Amino acid sequence: MDLLKSLPEYRLNRILNTPSPISSIAFAHSGHLFAGSDDGSLRVYDLSSFKVCRAISGLPTEVSSITCFKRPGSDLRDVWLACGHQAYSFKMDSPKLVQTAADATATIELCDKEDVLNELALSPGKTHLAFSTDSGSVGVVDLSTTTISRMKTSHSSICGIVRFIPDRPREIVSGGYDSCLLHFDFMQGTVLSRRDIPPFPITDGMSLSPPFIMSAAMGATGVMAAGTADGRLWLGCGGEKGSQTKATKKKRSRKWDGFNLENEVLERVAEGPIVAMAFSDPSTLTLSTLLGNVMQYRLIRQETTAQLVKIWEGNTGNISKVNTLIIDERRVVIAGLSENAKGVVEIWDLIKV
C-alpha cells in the first residue's frame, strides 16, 4: 500500500463562464485550455491569465470533441474538431484571432448528414484519426490520403467512445449505449474482442439505469476504464504492459488483451451516471458523475488481481450537469452547464500530493 502514503488534495481555483454550455475541453499543453461549446464556438484560454487568446466561431453545431496536436514551429497547438457530421482542422497560430469554418485547413465529412459525430481520437503517430457516431458506427481516417475506413461491425446504439491503444499501431477500442466495448483491428475493420457489461442485479424490486457506456479513459500502459449510466466503473487490466506479476507474467500477446475477465474490476462507485474520466498516470483515475460528484481512485496491483482505492472526493459547486473532465499533473478541469443553461468551467488546482 505504498501508493497510499501520499494522498492528493485539490482546491477550486477559477470559474470560467461562457454563453453556451461547454461540450468538450482539452489541454493543448500546460499553458492553454481549449473549450468547445454547444453554439459551435471554440475558446482557447491562456491559463496564466485565464483570458481568451484565440477563438473559432460560427461552426454549424456543437463542438463535440477536440483533439490537439503539435505542429513544428508553432507554440499554439493545431486542432481537429468534431462538429455535426464533419471534422475540421485549424491552425491556431493564424494571424486571425477569431477564425470561422472558412478558415479550416481541412474539412472531412465522416458520416451522413442524418448522423452526428461524437468523439475524435488522434493516433500517437498523428497518422490516423478515429471517430464514433450516433448511429453506432466506428471509423478511421488515414490522414495522408483522407481515406475513410469504417469498421465492419457497428454498435447497435449510440457510440460515444473511441480510443487508440498505446503501442498497438492498428488497434482501437470503442464503447456505446449498447453496453458494449469493441476492440478492432482498424486496418482489417474486424473485431478482435468484445466485452458486454451486464445489467446491475435488481434489488428490492428496483431496477437501475441500463449500463450504457457513458465515458472511458485509456492509460498510457494499456489499462482501460469505462463508466456506465448505472454508476459502475469497469477497469480492464489485461492489456497492461510492463506490470505483470509472477502469477500473470506471460509473453507479449499479439493483440491487446484488455477484456480478459481474469484481469478486470467492475464496481458500483456512484449513484448516478459516470459521464467523464481521465487518467493522470497509469495508476490514478479521476471521474465525475453527471451531477458533479468528482472522485479520484488509485489502482493497487496485487498478485493476481487489482483493487481500486478512493483517494480523493469533491463536488462541483457551479456545474449543474457535467459534460467533460480532463486532468494533468497540476490540475483537474471539469466543464458543462450551469443552472441557467450557460457554460461553465471549474479549474481545480492540486495543492497537496
Q: Does residue 207 surpass a pLDDT of 70?
A: no
Cβ(223)–Cβ(282) below 8 Å: yes
Predicted pLDDT of residue 301: 82
Predicted pLDDT of residue 5: 62
Instruction: Judge if pTM exceeds 0.85.
Output: yes
Strand order in the sheet with 284-289: 274-281, 284-289, 293-301, 306-315
Q: What is the mean pLDDT of residues 46-57?
A: 96
Predicted pLDDT of residue 252: 55
Parse the chain into domains and list their residue ranges: 1-109+316-353
Strand order in the sheet with 9-18: 9-18, 343-352, 331-337, 321-327
Predicted pLDDT of residue 75: 84
Structure confidence by residue, pLDDT tens digits, 152-185: 999 999 999 999 999 999 999 999 999 999 999 9
- Please tell me the class of the 1-109+316-353 domain: mainly beta
| Integer Cα distance of 66 and 125 in angstroms | 17
Cβ(321)–Cβ(340) below 8 Å: no
Q: Is 80 helix (H, G, I), strand (E, B) or coil?
A: strand
| Integer Cα distance of 59 and 215 in angstroms | 25
Band (235; pLDDT cuts 50, 70, 90): very high
Residue type, 212: F
The mean pLDDT value of the chain amounts to 93
What is the 3 state secondary structure string of 205-234?
CECCCCCCEEEEEECCCCCEEEEECCCEEE
| Integer Cα distance of 75 and 93 in angstroms | 8
Predicted pLDDT of residue 302: 75
Specify burial of residue 261 (Cβ count, 10 A radius: 0-12, 13-18, 19+).
exposed
Structure confidence by residue, pLDDT tens digits, 274-312: 999 999 999 999 999 999 999 999 999 876 678 899 999
Of 289 and 4, the one with more pLDDT: 289
As a whole number of Å, the CA-based R_g of the chain is 20
